[in-house]
Amino acid sequence: MATTIKGKAFAAGLRERVTAVVAELVTHHGLRPGLAVVLVGEDPASQVYVRNKGRQTMEAGMESIEHRLPASTREEDLLALIHRLNDDPAVHGILVQLPLPGHIDESKVINAISVHKDIDGFHIENVGKLSIGEESLVPCTPSGCVMLLKDQLGDLTGKSAVVVGRSNIVGKPVAMLLLKEHCTVTIAHSRTRDLAAVCREADILVAAVGVPEMVKGDWIKPGATVIDVGINRIDGGDGKTRLVGDVDYAGASEAAGAITPVPGGVGPMTIACLLRNTVIAACRQHGIPVPDGLQG
């Protein structure tokens, strides 16, 4: 059976390192990183996520600033708020919770955020810098995936990596990060011809396609490392729902060398990397070298 990659434990360790760095910034530089989160509307999942972000931000010793706006908020009013946050020296990171109500242009909002405070790494300038290997703020979930891989495997140089999924949020950026680690990278998706055969060539398989248990056990190369980004809620057969990933965990575990579970794998890494990005952004904005404990 495959080794379980314990993302929850790794994320806890990363949050501890963030907390220690924040304490040093406060003591030696009088700098307390500030994270502003903007939530528009009443989406229940977004509300839970924002609440967790706020709690973990404060636990790390940072300032947590929340703006909760009604779903009827006009686009121009949301943009005005973002411009105020851009100009606020106490705010070092800005995150607008997605999805936004349909009348608001998400791309316009994302690109209104200062590139230096874009801790989601979604601004077009940060996306471009990532694609050409320049220093940038990097999307949190892809960062977490690569951290778990390096912790499990060490040097990734020369490994064959297949990313199933081509989203701007996970698939494309995780592919760019794996290229940076000198992997040979294939981006596959639901329309890839003979997807199973493509997956069987992977030393590293990252599943981020959003289809419950799409990747079957016999798609896994023996000994491969599997990172399952999917979080899907399905009928548990007992009148309750249960969470599963994009990978058939039971089947994949028989072939893989190591695999992330769902839940408890990649998920906890996202907020931990968000906190990390906020501290990195604060350091860069104040000309302070990013501490070794937060380097990728």
d(CA 35, CA 53): 9
Identify the sign of the CA torsion 106, 232, 167, 94.
Answer: positive
Marked catalytic residue, from 56, 118, 120, 246: 120
Q: Show the 3-state SS of 22-85.
A: HHHHHHHHCCCCEEEEEEECCCHHHHHHHHHHHHHHHHCCCEEEEEEECCCCCHHHHHHHHHHH
d(CA 293, CA 24): 12
Residue 56 bears catalytic tag: no
The terminus-to-terminus CA distance of the chain in angstroms comes to: 29
d(CA 218, CA 225): 14
Of the candidates 13, 6, 14, the one whose C-alpha atom is nearest the C-alpha of residue 280 is: 14
DSSP helix/strand/coil, 276 = helix
Give the type of residue at 163: V
Strand boundaries in 151-215, DSSP class E: 160-164, 184-188, 204-207
Give the type of residue at 139: P
Residue 53 bears catalytic tag: yes
Residue 221 bears catalytic tag: no
Marked catalytic residue, from 97, 117, 118, 203: 97
Question: Which residues are known catalytic residues?
Answer: 53, 97, 120
